[in-house]
Structure 1
Amino acid sequence: GMGKTRLALQAAEQMVALPAADQPFRDGIFFVPLESVRDDEGLLTAVIGALTTQRSFPTQGDAAVAEQVIHFLRDKALLLVLDNFEHLLSAATLLSDLLLAAPQLKLLVTSRESLGLQEAWFYPVLGLAMTDGTAGDSRKKAENDAVRLFVQCARRTRLDFDVEKEREAVLRICTLVEGMPLAIELAAAWLNAMNCAQIAEEVTRGLDILTTRYQNIPPRQRSMRVVMEHSWALLTPVEREALAQLAIFRGPFSQEAAKRITNASLVILITLAEKALVRMTAAGYYQLHELTRQYAEEQLGDAVKVGLHDSHAHYYAELLERQRTYLFTNTVRQAWTTMGAELDNIRHAWLWLIEAAGAGSTDLPLPTLFRQMVEMLTAYHLYHLLWLPGQALFDQACRGLTAAGWADDGEQIDGETSRRAVLLRLQISAAQFQLEVGHYRASLASAEELLPACRQAGVVDDLFRCLLLYAHTQVRRGHRAEAIPAFEEALALAQHLPSPRYRAEALIGLGMIASADGRYAAAQEYYEQGLAVCQEMDYRPWIARIMTNLGFNHSRQEQP
């Protein structure tokens, strides 16, 4: 469905169109369809059949078919386009024999799987170019190859189709199918029955919408399900099991994640990549095409799927826990890079924890896993200004855990934390995103409600965060005087917390208020104390921040 055949034909047509003086294939260019061929001899027969469309093929009595083909091609300068070779890989060595015997022969082969030949140059055919739809002018988003193909196909079904009216839904369809040409054509064919938004919604539910009733389309391309079934049939049982289990991932995943969660070895990943069922990204991660992932996931039993989801959640919770060591250090970008590469999987693991909490019956240590994830998930979305996605993740978690009764469960688990305390921590993060998106009233109401609960829970770290939330909300509202006691209490709490960065946070807040109020000497003292703490930490971003604030404080005093 990626357009391999069409691309090969276009390449052949360009060769045919060359002037005679520049023509490298003086003896012709021949297209050899292999869909119905089943064995080596059938391959040779198909080649002979293609060659005889333009010239007679001299037979040599009782000589083997392979010998006759080699003898005929030996001195020929021609191109053979062998289409749909994936089910004939056992005959791939025959191609080597032909190339060795006929030095001027060239082969252009389309296949869903790598030929595994040393002579072959591998050219993966990916989806049509498209933007990610997350930034930029919306008109420019539609100006890409995938959307242009959709519009072209749509107007065959609805002559009056206006992409301007449904641009975002069209882009969503193209994104969901990752630019796959066949899937785009099949989706556009439904415009006589539903609009683009409805088509996009159906695509998210599965493959069955991607089918057509056109009579002149080859049967193997009339639905994405048939396409996927053909690829699935070519796999060994071990490969099928691995591919189905890899469907647990969303977006890119690392080799380590594949090994830990599904026990897929590097060899099996490479094998699936050679079959074009898994692709490697430029950053060295692996990824399944979304339609392949949907089909493969359908092959998993419910019990197996739950077990994989649990392993997936465990792995990514531990991954985020490991990234905490980079937070408030000069190497924090390593954590951002790691998390950014697998953010889809991190979010998916988070949503599975919420679902598991709602189900009520799970062996997962949910409070521990939420605790492992919450700090870095919050920090990543705040640092990268992903406030709305962050707010959505934490709002959903708070609703789900509240509905599951966590607000009423104060029993400590393993002597460390309770479900109620975990929910409080998530509610603090949710309120932080309320603050960043400008919902100051909601943020203040949340802080005022959470502060007594945090005091009662007795988790010093959470109380510190809630005090800062309250203080920063009051500052944003212009009520600096109300923020001072909260910053001062947070500063007092900081001595009971393990990292000096807590003290620095409170000092920076107090310094900003003092400077804004015209208490420049007090501001300087707060900043200098905070600077000493950050220099002790050797945390350059905050050192630069405090020195900048000191400069502004001095300029306000009109001091040199």
Structure 2
Amino acid sequence: MTEIGALLADPSCRLLTLTGPGGIGKTRLAMEIASRHQTFFPGGIFWVSLTRLSHINDLLPAIAEATPFCFQQKSRSPREQFFAYLREKHAQQILLVLDNMEHLLEGVDLIADLLAATTSWKILATSREVLNLQEEWVRPITGLTYPAAHAEDAAEEYSAVQVFVERARRIRRDFVLADDEKGVRDICRLVEGMPLALELAAGWLGTLRPADIAQEIQRNLDLLATRTHNWPERHRNMRSVFASSWQLLSETDREVFQKLSVFRDGWTREAAESVAGASLSTLARLIDQSLVRRNAVGRYEVHELLRQYGAEHLEAAGQTEAVQQRYLAYYLKLLAQCEHNIKAHHQDAALDIIAADFENVRHAWHLAVRQKQVVALGGALESLHLVAHAGRAHDIVPLFQEAVEQFPPFPDVEQRAILHRLQARLIRLIVLDNLRIERPLRAEIDDCLAAARARQDQAEIGFCLMVSGLVARWEADETPPDADSRAGRLFQESAAVYEALGDPFYQAEVLSLQAATTAQEEVQVSQALLTQSLELRREIEDRHGIAWITLSLTDVMLAQLDYVACERYAREGLALMREMDNTKGMLHALFDLAELMLFKGELEEARALAEEMRDLADKTNDLNSKMFSEGVLALLLCVRDEAYLEGATLARKQQMLAQEPFYGDRHELSAHWGQAIADCGLGQYAAARRSYPECLGRRSDPGPATICLALEAAALTHEEMWEAAIELLGLAFHQPGWASGWLHHWPLIARLCNDLRGKLDEETYRASWERGAGQDLETTIRSILGQVDEAPRKKTNQMLLEPLSGRELEVLGLIARGMSNQAIARRLVLSVNTVKVHTRNIYGKLGVSSRTQALAQATRFKLL
């Protein structure tokens, strides 16, 4: 341990592999090393157990799951997301422990890439084989110290003897080393101090004396030495222990144990009985013999090396295929049985069952795909699809891809139907999570829909219509202008199908999608659709659906500027997401609530919420959420503490986290507020003014508008335009308390008001204040943005046969900035379809047919 600790402290040692045979104690040693050297790694020590994995594709998700990182439903691939996280954390002193790497050696390139992407991360690996990487340092691990054949020193001085005695006293409380010291010495020597072998040997003390155990090991050791010369020396002893244990098992126990080798990452009593025919008494005997263990939550487990040994006997007995058939049938049936409960009433319990057995589910799926068991997959795929939708898409999308890509076109009608169902659900997950997976989605879903119609499968018709609508929404910015309205029609048709079928789960889902495609100006229609969806979800107790619809209503209320209702829904949504421990939902709700409390003037609560959001985003590497939270915190630093330099530093830091340009989404606005207020506090008024467009969403939204009003008032005061400054302050403070409460906590504003009172007499001050309070917010904000005095542009616009409207001129200006229709929609808070209508109108009025022509014509007419 001292030697390994020194190696880990060496800056040039980035990858250290502990090698040795299975059962030698590599895992236990690595655990102890990690626990004793935490001070070396202030960034954390992350343990990755790889024994349950069977494919190298599972290596990256396993590493990611062990770290605070979690995959986000973004357009980047899981690998891109994780390596972005590594670049963010590259300088932190972190130890990643990869336990039992030997069966995933084909995936070592990922380890090399991980080391290349970081500067201060170290990897401690355990493996029966070296990884053969250039960066690798190797430390072979042998057994515990044990007495030589004719040693005369005290047996208690050897660690192998100490371990055996400790295990022995668990089996026989009256065990005394002196009663059979020679037998114990022989056992320790024959197994070369291998910890697992010692434990297995001690397990037989209920039946045999130490001398007898040593004799059995010796007999089988001789046998292996003569028949299997190509086994490594250390493995001969290990197999001797296993062979000894195997010979002493009853025939029934042997048969059960070898069948248990099919399980991955543990199993339940019911699974053992169904798959391996294991009775409770058989499991108890196997536990007593140290071949099986029962963990704290009641699941049964077996050491990986023992599992492999049992698998060899299963194969030798010619039973592997038959047991695998029972295994995959059990777990795929388990998925099918969970489907109803995932959709209604017992959702959390069903999801917990699948989560606990996910490695078995994954392995069963792989087996079924490999064996082309299409019908078996048919009953399971809907549950797995719903589990993906509940947050495990990064695990399940590869399983669906594997099946779709490996299955040939089936002549059998039932098999073809299952393959189409699988394709439709894969497409839904790709679109909902915005995954960067190249597939002809439109052609595939059209094919699935046509096949469902041919079968007259109403449930699948409804599903394919829903997915077709999602694809239409996804394509909306690249396809003809009617794509968005086409999505709405498809959703409406799908909802009608599900209503006729009496399927409230998917009817509620489609209603929420309809709400999302409703034009922004029809926000009350969207609210009605979401309310109907919420009622359906409550009827069936779809807790995940209830939580997300609640947050959707939060956004709808915000769009209607109903901050009071918005706060109520945000608090409800946050409570629900916390109950379910749903990170993505918690981040969404935390931001909404933090922003509401900020404008309301509840600054302490706003800070607590923003800090919680930042910490959660940091743990899960959600860069956007981290950016939004730090934007709020930067504002609070400036407003509450007037720490303008610190606030500006934080604002610049969080803006560097931006993954994409900002187009005016309400969440993204927060990224600019702190910087703007910091600039104002530091007297950099020109910089503050430049940020006004990025600080505003709807110009009639009082919350962000009060920020611009306050900043402009400060700038005008600096320019000695005192009455204009007072008017803006009067308008800002005239806004509802839920939008202007924060102004009462900014000392700069209080000083500003006092300074202005000193510049003017009380009557002039009061008249200016009241005059400002009576102004129209929208008009005033447009004036601040320089969008009111447009006489020259209006003159040339009027020369057109059909002048452009104000909104069309606005859209034209954004087109000139190179924004896509989707970006313009986000900036102006419109639907993409509405933007396309405005664009067509612009083309018609200018007599052109493309963006390029429109910009050229607009320049000629001096409209830009």
Task: Give the TM-score category using the shorter length.
Answer: 0.5 to 0.7
The counterpart of 2:244, out of the listed 227, 233, 255, is 233
Distance 1:540 1:334, change over 3 A: closer
Counterparts of 1:34-433 in structure 2 under 5 Å?
A: 128-129=30-31, 131-132=47-48, 133-135=63-65, 136=67, 143=95, 164=115, 174=126, 184=127, 186-188=128-130, 194-195=132-133, 220-221=191-192, 222-224=233-235, 226-235=237-246, 236-238=249-251, 239-300=253-314, 301=316, 303-357=318-372, 366-384=373-391, 386-402=392-408, 405-406=409-410, 408-410=411-413, 418-433=414-429
Q: What are the superposed Cα offsets for residues 461-488 of structure 1, whole Å, 9 maximum, x if unpaired?
A: 2222222222223334445323112101
TM-score, structure 2 normalization: 0.40
Counterpart of 1:322, as a letter, is Q
- Quote the Cα distance in structure 1 between the aligned partners of 2:401 and 2:124: 24
- Quote the Cα distance in structure 1 between the aligned partners of 2:318 and 2:100: 42
TM-fit CA distance, 1:376:
1.1
- Quote the Cα distance in structure 2 between the aligned partners of 1:381 and 1:542: 14
Distance 1:453 1:483, change over 3 A: same
Residue 9 (structure 1) aligns with: none
Distance 1:511 1:165, change over 3 A: closer
Q: What are the superposed Cα offsets for residues 261-301 of structure 1, whole Å, 9 maximum, x if unpaired?
A: 11112222222223332222222111222222112101113
Q: Is the 8 A contact 2:390 2:544 kept in 1?
A: no
Residue 497 (structure 2) aligns with: 493
- Quote the Cα distance in structure 1 between the aligned partners of 2:100 and 2:369: 39
Distance 1:292 1:428, change over 3 A: same
Distance 1:147 1:291, change over 3 A: closer
TM-fit CA distance, 1:547:
4.0
Secondary structure of 1:187's aligned partner: coil
Distance 1:218 1:464, change over 3 A: farther
TM-fit CA distance, 1:223:
2.9
TM-fit CA distance, 1:441:
6.2
Q: Is the 8 A contact 2:95 2:124 kept in 1?
A: no
- Quote the Cα distance in structure 2 between the aligned partners of 1:447 and 1:149: 40
Distance 1:335 1:224, change over 3 A: farther
Distance 1:211 1:332, change over 3 A: same
- Quote the Cα distance in structure 2 between the aligned partners of 1:346 and 1:449: 29
- Quote the Cα distance in structure 2 between the aligned partners of 1:198 and 1:356: 38
- Quote the Cα distance in structure 1 between the aligned partners of 2:524 and 2:114: 61
Secondary structure of 1:143's aligned partner: strand
TM-fit CA distance, 1:419:
0.9
Secondary structure of 1:296's aligned partner: helix
Q: What are the superposed Cα offsets for residues 217-275 of structure 1, whole Å, 9 maximum, x if unpaired?
A: 96745434531341232231433222211101111110111111111122222222233
Q: Is the 8 A contact 2:98 2:125 kept in 1?
A: no
Residue 530 (structure 2) aligns with: 527
Q: What RMSD in Å do the two structures reach over aligned CA positions? A: 4.0
TM-fit CA distance, 1:551:
4.0
Counterpart of 1:143, as a letter, is L
Secondary structure of 2:334's aligned partner: helix
- Quote the Cα distance in structure 2 between the aligned partners of 1:210 and 1:299: 28
- Quote the Cα distance in structure 2 between the aligned partners of 1:449 and 1:145: 46
Residue 513 (structure 1) aligns with: 517
Q: What are the superposed Cα offsets for residues 20-67 of structure 1, whole Å, 9 maximum, x if unpaired?
A: xxxxxxxxxxxxxxxxxxxxxxxxxxxxxxxxxxxxxxxxxxxxxxxx
Q: What are the superposed Cα offsets for residues 417-439 of structure 1, whole Å, 9 maximum, x if unpaired?
A: x1111111111122233222523
Q: Which moved more, 1:304-313 or 1:528-537?
A: 528-537
Distance 1:391 1:162, change over 3 A: closer
Q: Is the 8 A contact 2:428 2:470 kept in 1?
A: no
TM-fit CA distance, 1:144:
6.0
Would you say how many aligned residue pairs link Structure 1 and Structure 2? Answer: 382
- Quote the Cα distance in structure 2 between the aligned partners of 1:466 and 1:198: 51
Residue 458 (structure 2) aligns with: 460
Secondary structure of 1:248's aligned partner: coil
Q: What are the superposed Cα offsets for residues 395-446 of structure 1, whole Å, 9 maximum, x if unpaired?
A: 11122322xx42x322xxxxxxx11111111111222332225237634443
Check if 1:438 corresponds to 2:435: yes
Secondary structure of 1:555's aligned partner: helix
Counterpart of 2:552, as a letter, is N
Secondary structure of 2:501's aligned partner: coil
Residue 843 (structure 2) aligns with: none
Secondary structure of 1:505's aligned partner: helix
Residue 859 (structure 2) aligns with: none
Q: Is the 8 A contact 1:225 1:295 kept in 2?
A: no
Secondary structure of 1:131's aligned partner: strand
Residue 484 (structure 1) aligns with: 488
Q: Is the 8 A contact 2:261 2:308 kept in 1?
A: yes
Residue 202 (structure 2) aligns with: none
- Quote the Cα distance in structure 2 between the aligned partners of 1:472 and 1:483: 7
Distance 1:355 1:440, change over 3 A: closer
Distance 1:144 1:441, change over 3 A: closer
Check if 1:449 corresponds to 2:473: no
Residue 18 (structure 2) aligns with: none
Secondary structure of 2:95's aligned partner: coil
Q: Which has the larger radius of gyration?
A: 2
Counterpart of 1:468, as a letter, is M
Gap regions ≥5 residues in structure 1: 4-111, 113-124, 151-160, 175-183, 200-208, 358-365, 411-417
- Quote the Cα distance in structure 1 between the aligned partners of 2:99 and 2:276: 35
The counterpart of 1:536, out of the listed 536, 539, 545, is 539
Q: Is the 8 A contact 1:468 1:486 kept in 2?
A: yes
Counterpart of 1:427, as a letter, is Q
